[in-house]
Amino acid sequence: MTGHLLLTTIALPDLFTFIFAGLAALVGAGGVILARNPVHSALMLVMTLFSVAVLFVEQDAQFLAAVQVIVYAGAIVVLFLFVIMLLGVDRREVIQRDPLPAQRPLAVVAAILVLLEIGLLARSHWSTGQPAVVGPTNGGQTNIVELARAVFTTYLLPFEATSALLVIAVLGAVVLARRAATPTDIVSKLNTESSDILVEAVADPALSSDDGQRSHQ
């Protein structure tokens, strides 16, 4: 009865937006889990991220919706796709050999239990506590003005700390990505070079030039 009253009091555009974006988010999340191909998983992730951005707009968080699309769908998923294409792992994963046979059924059981718990919780009131005093979401100003005021006054120190975090992340990526010349690398390089010289010495010139090209690649 109360649910029926609730449905009639909600504005129709809001209801449609929530239902469509929510369904798209759920379908995308299911696709991330179920898709065999990691590329399809990444594209399904884009769908979920975009739907969450729509839900952000629906809740008057316009700036976060824009950042969500630009940073998540624009940068992070593209980074994922780059790595997938770079590694060439866009093939089916091997699931025959399973070191923990009970893990998958247990995971499904745990997920069902959590969903049942959420269903129980959703039937009651959610505790929301007392409103804090950082600032209003829409105190007569636009969302961006309020957000900027909070970020650059109350949360100025964390904001500056994130810049240090980003620099550290960039340095970490560079350190992880560059290949240091270890002694074994040098020895193997010397070995290939000497074998090239040997090949050049014994084989005909066409074959040796072909080998030289391959070693340079």
User: 96-135: which residues touch other proteins (CB under 8 A)?
Assistant: 97-99, 103-104, 106-108, 110-111, 114-115, 118, 121-122, 125-126, 128-129, 131-135
Of residues 81 and 199, the one with the C-beta less far from other proteins: 81
Q: How far is CA 4 from CA 8, 118, 141, 196, in A?
A: 6, 21, 34, 80
Per CB under 8 A, which region of 27-35, 181-189, 193-201, 203-211 contacts other proteins?
27-35
Give me the least distance between CB of 28 and other proteins, in Å please.
9
User: Alpha helices, DSSP H only, in the chain?
Assistant: 2-9, 12-34, 38-58, 62-67, 77-87, 103-122, 143-149, 156-177, 183-202, 205-216
* Total number of residues that touch other proteins (CB under 8 A): 92
Per CB under 8 A, 38 contacts other proteins:
yes
CA distance 132 to 7: 30
Among 142, 160, 162, 185, interactor with other proteins by CB under 8 A: 162
Per CB under 8 A, 186 contacts other proteins:
no
Per CB under 8 A, 85 contacts other proteins:
no
Identify whether the C-beta of residue 77 lies closer than 8 Å to the C-beta of residue 49.
yes
Among 85, 137, 186, 192, interactor with other proteins by CB under 8 A: 137
Of residues 141 and 208, the one with the C-beta less far from other proteins: 141
For the chain, helix, strand, coil in percent to 5 are 75, 0, 25
Per CB under 8 A, 176 contacts other proteins:
yes
CA distance 194 to 184: 15
Picking from 82, 80, 99, 17, the residue whose alpha carbon sits closest to that of residue 50 is 17
Of residues 115 and 203, the one with the C-beta less far from other proteins: 115
Per CB under 8 A, 169 contacts other proteins:
yes
